[in-house]
């Protein structure tokens, strides 16, 4: 009896040894991916570091220059520390011209503080009304508001001056304060935020319960829009605090100047009277402090929930 013979399987059915994909090919590990990732991350961090240093250099220069006396400006370099004379500069700052710098601080706080709060409240109410209330001409009003965003504030200074002169408000506090209460960009931002943050169902439930529109806005819509309100408030505060051209056109009394205009007036005298240089720099350093404080104190409101204050 002959031994059974085994026939080999066809060539098509033979299992070929699995080949590992080449490195860097599809489905295979990419060599150097971790290195390229760290390289790109380091490049991004380097660019951000350079941008931060570029932004902080003027503040560092203010800090170092505010400690110098009149003679130290010509004897030291820009970022070099000299004899610490900050307290002497502060004393001279508040004593110069019968303490007029104190009036400038008060005026800036009134312009920016009251103007930012009232202006942000008006912008938020207008944006909420355009977004959530149905009335004739709503789209036309929003289109006019968007057009107002494109108009630069300097182009409105002369018409505002002529209007204030007709109302006998030139060289008064109200000539600067009233125009600061309107901000087309704030209305646009509030309208966009109200569309996303205030549900229509909540408003309809409040209306069915008999609540008026003013009460609905103050007790329901405004808490929901609080992050947007704070954003508009900060924009208003920074814009009014740095406002220069409108007070320059409207005011002639130094006791009504904001800090920006008052420091500018002193800076024009510095080439002829070098003793104004430390006062200008020290005053500019003090002018930055409220802006930093406003951002630090109000940044937590940006993280609050969009549905804060909603009813069940």
Q: Which of 242, 211, 232, 237 is nearest to 122 (CA)?
A: 232
Q: What pLDDT, in 10s, does the model give residues 214-255?
A: 999 999 999 888 888 988 998 899 999 999 999 999 999 999
Helix, strand, coil: what percent of the chain each, to 5? 70, 0, 30
How many whole angstroms separate alpha carbon 274 and alpha carbon 125? 49
233, 120 in Cβ contact below 8 A?
yes
Task: Count CB atoms within 10 A of the CB of residue 182.
Answer: 13
Residues 6+ positions from 22 with CB-CB distance below 8 Å: 28
State the pLDDT at residue 250: 94
CA distance 54 to 47: 11
The region that residue 65 occupies, defined by phi over 0 for left and psi between -120 and 50 for alpha, beta otherwise, is alpha
CA 125, CA 309: separation in Å to the nearest integer? Answer: 16
Which regions in the chain score pLDDT beneath 50?
A: 1-4, 11-17, 21-25, 30, 305-312
Residue position matching structure tokens 């130094």: 254
Report whether 258 contacts 271 (CB < 8 A). Answer: no
Phi-psi region of 309 (alpha: psi -120 to 50; beta: other; left: phi over 0): left
What ranges do the domains of the chain cover? 88-303
End-to-end CA distance of the chain, in Å? 93
Q: Can you tell me the distance from the alpha carbon of 126 to that of 148, in angstroms, rounded to the nearest whole number?
A: 14
Q: Are 224 and 127 in contact (CB under 8 A)?
A: no
Which pLDDT does position 33 carry in this prediction?
Answer: 55
- Distance between CA atoms of 113 and 152, rounded to whole angstroms? 23
**Could you tell me the CA-to-CA distances from 195 to 120, 225, 304 in Å, in that order?**
17, 10, 17
pLDDT of residue 12: 45
Q: What is the pLDDT of residue 44?
A: 84
Work out the burial of residue 65: count CB atoms within 10 Å of its CB; fewer than 13 is exposed, 13-18 middle, 19 or more buried.
Answer: buried
DSSP one-letter string for 214-270: HHHIIIIIHHHTHHHHHHHHHHHHHHHHT--HHHHHH---GGG--HHHHHHHHHHHT
- Residue 33 has, within 13 A of its CA and on its CB side, a CA count of 7
Which CATH code fits 88-303?
Answer: 1.10.3720.10
**CA–CA gap between residue 114 and residue 2 (Å, rounded):** 112
How high is the pLDDT of residue 307?
38
């Amino acid at each position: 009896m002959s031994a059974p013979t085994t026939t080999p399987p066809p060539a098509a059915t033979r299992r070929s040894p699995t080949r590992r994909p080449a490195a860097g090919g599809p489905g295979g590990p990419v060599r150097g991916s971790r290195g390229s990732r760290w390289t790109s991350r380091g490049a991004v961090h380097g660019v951000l570091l350079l941008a931060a240093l570029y932004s902080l250099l003027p503040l560092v220069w203010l800090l170092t220059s505010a400690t110098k006396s009149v003679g130290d400006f010509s004897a030291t370099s820009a970022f070099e520390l000299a004899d610490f004379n900050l307290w002497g500069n502060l004393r001279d700052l508040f004593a110069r011209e019968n303490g007029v710098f104190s009036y400038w601080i008060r005026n800036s706080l009134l312009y920016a503080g009251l103007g930012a709060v009232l202006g942000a409240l008006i912008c938020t109410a207008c944006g909420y009304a355009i977004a959530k209330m149905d009335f004739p001409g709503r789209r036309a009003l929003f289109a006019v508001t968007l057009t107002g965003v494109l108009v630069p504030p300097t182009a409105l200074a002369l018409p505002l001056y002529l209007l204030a002169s007709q109302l006998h408000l030139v060289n008064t506090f109200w000539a600067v304060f009233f125009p600061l209460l309107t901000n087309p960009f704030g209305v646009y931002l509030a309208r966009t935020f109200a569309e996303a943050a205030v549900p229509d169902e909540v408003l309809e439930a409040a209306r069915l319960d008999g609540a008026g529109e003013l009460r609905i806005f103050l007790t329901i819509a405004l808490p929901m829009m609080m992050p947007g309100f704070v954003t508009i408030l900060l924009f208003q505060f920074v814009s009014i605090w740095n406002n220069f051209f409108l007070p320059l056109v409207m005011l002639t009394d130094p006791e009504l100047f904001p800090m920006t205009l008052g420091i500018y007036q002193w800076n024009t005298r510095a080439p002829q009277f070098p003793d104004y240089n430390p006062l200008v720099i020290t005053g500019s350093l003090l002018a930055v402090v409220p802006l930093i404080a406003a951002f630090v104190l109000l940044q937590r409101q940006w993280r609050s929930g969009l549905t804060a204050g909603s009813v069940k």
